[in-house]
Homo-oligomer: A and B are copies of this chain.
Amino acid sequence: VSRALSGRGPVGTETRRRVEAAAHRLHYQPSAAARSLRTERTLIVGVLVPDLGNPVFVPFLRAVQRVAQASDYAVMVVDAQRSPAVERRALDRLTAQGVDALILAGPARDDANLDGLRRAGCLVMDDTDTGASPRRALALAERPASRAVCDALAALGHRRIGFVSRRAATGESGRRRWQALRAGAAPQGMALERLVLSDGDDPEGTGAALDAVVRRADPVTALVCAAHDLAPVVLRGLGSAGIEVPDECSVVTYGDSDWAAAFRPALSVVTLDLDEAGLAVTDVVVRRLAGERSAAAPLAPARFVRRASIGPAPGSVASATRRER
């Protein structure tokens, strides 16, 4: 009947107008299921988020949403909840659903979980891809800023800095940051030490652990938080132990927010616009799905924002000079 009418086809303008009017009046909505069955396209893109509890993924997800919706794609979110099994199950659902593309907001918990999608011909944006991948792009974008952190701390006389994470086996981004800091600390002759917080978020416990490291002989004089959500935990711990920032210990964290800036002293951060990353990847995805051979947009590098939370290492020359004034 009104087959070509709703799309394009050889139809008189008047006829088309009338058909469209009727369709609107009757609230006609073409069935996505039927269309997908026929066209083998679903107009759905999936997003794999390793952990929705981690706020860094939210701007990313938001950007994906914005771009996808603007191009008339719907978005299916998979929250892997840090669990390979959950990830697996949800990705299988996406496979059955036949999403046109899957965007990785971070590395998959288990890479094999992506096989089903790949086999089904789904466009999976990840490392093996052109660099449009958030994963590799992020690693590259963050490196210079990590180095800048090391340079700044070294210049302030710090000799030993601590890298704070929640687990010994950190995720991919934790590993990446650890390596970048190591690469930055070595040429400055700074030691980098790994500090693992225990899972109970008890401020006293955290404080005691940090106290032991900051107030021993040959102390750690600066802490770098592996992730944004770790910063308040560390700060509470320091507060609970009565350790002054930055006089006794400097603090830097990955990831920025209004809270980090509002804190007293304001927190120094390494910040990357993940919003931009999400936007770029999704744009490439939409282009590719439309048949274009689009390359990735370059991602702006992360910035090191120095604020009041870092200062001279206690006992260093810089610190002594400062006190004399």
Contact = CB atoms under 8 A, between A and B. Distances in A.
Nearest to A99: B74
Given A37-B34, A233-B258, A262-B232, A77 B65 contact: yes
B29 A92 contact: yes
Interface string A235-277: 1100100000000000000000111011110000000000000
A interface SS class? helix
Contacts of A236: 258, 261-262
A214 interface: no
A151 interface: no
A52 B30 CA distance: 28
Interface stretch (A1-9, A54-62, A133-141): A54-62
A6 to B, nearest CB: 12
Given A58-B52, A66-B79, A75-B76, A29 B96 contact: yes
Interface in A35-81: 36-37, 42-44, 52-53, 55, 58, 61-62, 65-66, 69, 72, 74-79, 81
A94 interface: yes
B37 A31 contact: yes
Interface size band for A: 35 or more
A95 B74 CA distance: 11
A74 B74 contact: no
18 contacts: A32-B33, A33-B34, A33-B42, A34-B37, A43-B93, A52-B61, A55-B55, A61-B77, A62-B79, A65-B79, A69-B89, A231-B259, A232-B258, A236-B258, A236-B261, A239-B262, A263-B263, A264-B264
